[in-house]
Amino acid sequence: MSLASNTANPAASQNQTFHGSSLELKNLTMAYGDIEVLRNVSLTVAPGTTTCIIGPSGSGKSTLLRGVNRLHEPKSGDVLLSGESALKVKPDLLRTRIGMVFQHFNLFPDHTALENVALALWSVKGMSKAEARKRAHRSLSEVGLAERADHRPRDLSGGQQQRVAIARALAMEPEVMLFDEATSALDPELVKGVLNLMAGLGKRGMTMLVVTHEMGFARKVADQVVFMDEGEVVEAGAPGKLFDNPSSERLQRFLSEVL
Amino acid sequence: MDWLNTIIRTFFDFGAMAEVLPQLLGVGLLNTLIISIAATVIGLVLGMIVAVMGISPSRWLRIPARIYTDLFRGLPAILTILLIGQGFARFSQSIFGPSPYPLGIIALSLIASAYIGEIFRAGIQSVDKGQGEACRALGMSYAKSMALVVVPQGIRRVLPALVNQFIAIVKDSSLVYFLGLLVSERELFRVGQDAAVLSGNLSPLVLAGIFYLVITVPLTHLVNYFDNRFRTGRRRPAAPSSGLKEVKELDAASPLITGSNT
């Protein structure tokens, strides 16, 4: 399997099963105490498209994701999910509509893969436990892990754990998926499998905001690439333009270091 | 060998021991276990409340929990037991009757809950922050993520410390005798002490001590066993498998990528 080719028009994908919502950040500013780590970031993600955020460490990429689902409350500005302000919704309700995948998976170690996926289905979505398990099983088979449903996280490889985490987020049927360096903690040979999985989601119409250090993925899969540094968006645009024709000196320097 | 005889007569007068044995078993051991287990159960419930309050985002819960803990951990057990056992005697009489036994249990529970609260708090706070974040990111409320994911993991980690705390409670239960117990309510220490006065030597107390050891020593070793087991973890023994195998499996079994399941 090669990486999915550039999905310029994912709506035309024949297997569209997700109905991603639009996402818009308006002058988003976020701070830890008095230190502003994100300043006036504005960004538009069209429904069903993939936006990759790249940039050096400390540039505020992860903070931006955490502002979208309000794991960290923004200081000012606004986040619009499907046109309505995410800051006016109850955070718990908002988060059921936004899936998130973490660098270190954050699976529940005392739950099996199936229970990891099923937990929020019954405890948040109010499904019966049997129903939740059925839905969880379907979600696990979607990421190729049906046979490992009864394994605990520590009996799974990093790649498998991250796929469980993706299944866990997808089972909630989110409108937007956030990926926070989802492949950074994986063994190198397992990275591609997870990236393929993510590319597949994008192809099927999921709106995705992906913080990544995988430049190959960003170039091939993203509809839009955003380069951030020191808490600001330095440059944004189509991947071809950013990677082949970076206009800012900072992006040129960054690319010369990572490529 | 005069000194040896003295030692035997003082500490190992088997006649005196045999005489007190039925009482130690039927009254002393029974009451020690009742007091200790009751105090532990109440202490666990109160301790969990104190712990959850102690890590709450709200300071109006945190501060009272802090004061409570400082108070009952900072005072000598005997002082707390006397203050509560005598101070609330009249109040207790209207509920439990004249016996100070229930108040003794309550005093021990309060002391235990302060320690247990700290144990729980340390355990809960040692759980990786990512666990709570993963819950919240799935839309779970703070309370649900604590109850379903974070707290259970925290408790498992502190089981050894909790067993240690139970051992401490077993030993502290001897202090309840200060409140003046009925004959049938006496715990190990009091039974041994009373018999020692009658026999004129310390052998009954030695036997009472042996009973304490019979409870505490196996538990101490149980703790070590737990501790080892939790540190190394139970793992299905599995031969190391090549990461390439998984790559193959992914290529073969990822319907999502090929889209054949949709």
Interface touch B257/A196, C-beta < 8 Å: yes
A112 and A126 co-located in one domain = yes
Percent of chain B with pLDDT over 90: 66
A75 and A129 co-located in one domain = no
Q: What is the pTM of this model?
A: 0.84
Among residues A147, A173, A199, the one where a domain terminates is A173
- Our CA-based measurement puts residue B238 at a distance from the nearest CA of chain A, in whole angstroms, of 9
- The string of pLDDT tens digits covering residues A125-148 is 999 999 999 999 999 999 999 999
Mean pLDDT for the stretch of residues A17-23: 91
C-alpha torsion sign, points A71, A76, A77, A83: positive
Interface test with A, best of B136, B250, B258, B260 (most A CBs within 10 A): B250
What mean pLDDT, rounded, does chain A reach?
A: 91
Per CB-CB distance under 8 Å, the chain A contacts of B238 are 155
- The string of pLDDT tens digits covering residues B75-90 is 999 999 999 999 998 8
Query: What's the number of domains chain A is made of?
Result: 2
CA separation (Å) from B63 to B57, B120, B151? 11, 17, 21
Interface touch A154/B233, C-beta < 8 Å: yes
Mean pLDDT for the stretch of residues B52-59: 93
Q: Residue A119: pLDDT above 60?
A: yes
Q: Nearest residue on chain A to B144, judged by CA atoms? A: A123
Interface touch A193/B247, C-beta < 8 Å: yes
Amino acid A8: pLDDT:
38
Residue A151 located in a structural domain: yes
A83 and A115 co-located in one domain = no
Confidence of residue A113 (pLDDT cuts 50, 70, 90): very high
CATH number at residue A42: 3.40.50.300
Measured at the alpha carbon of residue B129, what is the angle toward residues A62 and A110, in degrees to the nearest 5? 120
Q: Nearest residue on chain B to A147, judged by CA atoms? A: B253
Residue A4 located in a structural domain: no
Per CB-CB distance under 8 Å, the chain B contacts of A108 are 131, 134, 149, 153
Helix or strand (DSSP H, E) at A257: helix A249-258
Confidence of residue A1 (pLDDT cuts 50, 70, 90): very low
Tell me the domain boundaries of chain B.
2-236
Counted across chains A and B, CB pairs separated by less than 8 A come out at 121
Among residues A173, A197, A224, the one where a domain terminates is A173
- The string of pLDDT tens digits covering residues A27-76 is 999 999 999 999 999 999 999 999 999 999 989 999 999 999 999 999 99
Residue A241 located in a structural domain: yes
DSSP A51-91: EEEE--TTSSHHHHHHHHTTSS--SEEEEEETTEEGGGS-H
A164 and A251 co-located in one domain = no
A166 and A189 co-located in one domain = no
- The string of pLDDT tens digits covering residues B152-190 is 999 988 988 999 999 999 999 999 998 888 888 999 999
Residue A2 located in a structural domain: no
A194 and A245 co-located in one domain = yes
A180 and A68 co-located in one domain = yes
- Our CA-based measurement puts residue A193 at a distance from the nearest CA of chain B, in whole angstroms, of 7
Residue A192: domain span: 15-97+176-258
Residue A67 located in a structural domain: yes
**What is the C-alpha to C-alpha distance for residues A224 and A226, in angstroms, rounded to an integer?**
7
Residue A135 located in a structural domain: yes
Q: Domain spanning B2-236 has what CATH number?
A: 1.10.3720.10
